[in-house]
Amino acid sequence: MVCDTYYRENQTLTERKREILSTMQVIEKLVASQRVKPIVDRTTGAVTFAQLSAIDRNGLTDACIYRRILATGSAAAKIALQRAEQAAGRTVNRQALAAGIHSHDGGKSWGSH
């Protein structure tokens, strides 16, 4: 899983999985309450989560967050993703996610460095 690729020193896979689950609960609540806004790029179809701090992100990529919300997220979080797609006029492009296209500035610029 894309979420499992980031580890802290001396962290086991089981510990990381627990950490991912707890981090996703926080992020999902932030997205559902509209304090974190998903943004879809009109050109590439990549997704980012604006106003999500590095502390709240806890090493999770935008692709990981997107996939976890689709797989296990609440209805409110999924609706927020659908609204972002409607605002962009396109759906999220899974190939763009796989290619690593992302934004560091809340959707103003996009790249895959």
2 confidence band (pLDDT: 50, 70, 90): low
DSSP state of 81: H
Number of neighbouring beta carbons within 10 Å of residue 75: 8
Q: Is the Cβ–Cβ distance between 40 and 103 less than 8 Å?
A: no
Q: What is the pLDDT of residues 42-101, one digit of tens each?
A: 999 999 999 999 899 998 989 999 999 999 999 999 999 999 999 999 999 999 988 888
Indicate the Cα dihedral angle 56, 78, 93, 63, nearest 10°. 20
Q: Residue 10's pLDDT is what?
A: 87
Question: pTM score, two decimals?
Answer: 0.89
Name the phi and psi angles at 112, rounded to 5: -135, 30
